[in-house]
Amino acid sequence: MVFLIMKRELFDSNPILKLSFDFSLLVIDYCEQLEANKKLVLSKQLLRSGTSNGANCMEAQNAESKADFIHKIKIAAKEAEETQYWLWLCAYAKSYPECKILIEKVEEVNKVLGKILSTSKKKTPISYLMSFFIFQWFGSFLWLRFEK
């Protein structure tokens, strides 16, 4: 029980985890409707991509480095884009249940993931300083090598 409370606090304190988890639950419900209507192929595709972006966001919380975090969030973003494609197919195909709310929610997920990626890719002042020193060291190293 304590484990569930701890995880719930993690979801409540992290907007992308909460958003992607809630979206995954909506996708599960929608896929059950698709399966009831014998729309099995799209249901399976949508279920996989629609729930995996949340799993990738969760996995990113335990990234080994900033680069690993960015990589996992990029995967989540790709899965969200794929989900959006499947939802568009459902929206435009005849005899499929209404999915307008899901399309709005996946667009929201995409925006948050995009913001996380753009923020994460920004260099911090210390990384600029390190880049400067590495460049200076490497430049002087090359200069000495070619001067001989």
**CATH number of the domain to which 13 belongs:** 1.20.1440.60
pTM: 0.77
How many domains is the chain partitioned into structurally? 1
Q: Would you say residue 139 lies in a domain?
A: no
Per-residue confidence of the chain (148 residues) as pLDDT tens digits?
454 555 677 777 889 999 999 999 999 999 999 999 999 999 999 999 999 999 999 999 889 998 899 999 999 999 999 999 999 999 999 999 999 999 999 999 999 999 999 988 776 555 555 555 555 555 554 455 555 5
Q: Would you say residue 148 lies in a domain?
A: no
**Closest of 110, 9, 120, 112 to residue 68, by C-alpha:** 120
Query: What is the residue range of 107's domain?
Result: 2-123
